[in-house]
Homo-oligomer: A and B are copies of this chain.
Amino acid sequence: MGLKIGELAKATGTKVETVRYYERIGLLPEAERTSGNYRSYAPAHLDQLNFIRHARRLGFDIADIRSLLDLAGQPERDCAEVDRIASGHLRAVEDKIARLALLREELNRMIGQCRGGSVGNCRIIETLADHGLCESDHGGG
């Protein structure tokens, strides 16, 4: 009566292997089994997998999603913790953007200096060979 794993996967835009992976790491609860040992999923699984996939698409990592699922299961709790997780993730995303923006500038400058010609006097290669030629701090990370 429940969904087979392939159906669940299709319904949520997930790969079958990924569903099994989520089960293995305990992110998705184990499904009932049919007499033929096939997994059989209930609507609750569908909801939870949708939640997981959505959170993943938003870039939350598995540990965060675990916490969020846990919290979602305790509706009476204060949602400050939810907020904390989401805000922390937002900050991480902003950080990543900032770092990538620095790389973009540096790459742009590097590429802009290349006037064609031979590798021997290619500014891109020169710049890569000598960090001193860089302006910004696209530094250690």
Contact = CB atoms under 8 A, between A and B. Distances in A.
Q: Is the interface of A mostly helix, strand, loop or mixed?
A: helix
Q: How many copies does the complex hold?
A: 2
A107 B86 contact: yes
B125 A58 contact: no
Interface stretch (A19-27, A31-39, A94-102): A94-102
Interface in A62-99: 68, 71-72, 74-80, 82-83, 86-87, 89-90, 93-94, 96-97
A111 B88 CA distance: 11
Given A101-B97, A119-B74, A140-B57, A86 B68 contact: no
Contacts of A59: 100, 103
Contacts of A72: 119, 125, 128-129
Which of A71, A77, A131 has the most chain B CB atoms inside 10 A of its CB?
Answer: A131
Given A57-B141, A100-B97, A87 B75 contact: no
